[in-house]
Amino acid sequence: MTDLEIRLYTALKRITCYDPPSKLRRRAERDYGLSGDEAIEYAYENVLEEARAGIKGIRLPKAKPAALSQKAGEKDD
């Protein structure tokens, strides 16, 4: 694996370890002293930061993959 692949894999692996919203709502008060909505908001911000750190300094590829070049909501034929 290249350094880039390792960095991206590591970021995605960390993101997958976040609790789902239902679990955050149930346990937020006990574990963090926050309401469920606050815990979800903080987790969302943390996921965004993990993703930003994973792609920091990476340029957009010159040739766009098919999935990125399609408009949102369109399906492959």
Q: Each residue of 40-54: pLDDT tens digit?
A: 999 999 999 999 999
Q: Each residue of 10-35: pLDDT tens digit?
A: 999 999 999 999 999 999 999 999 99
Tell me how many degrees the CA angle 68-70-71 measures, rounded to the nearest 5: 110
DSSP 8-class letter at 72: T
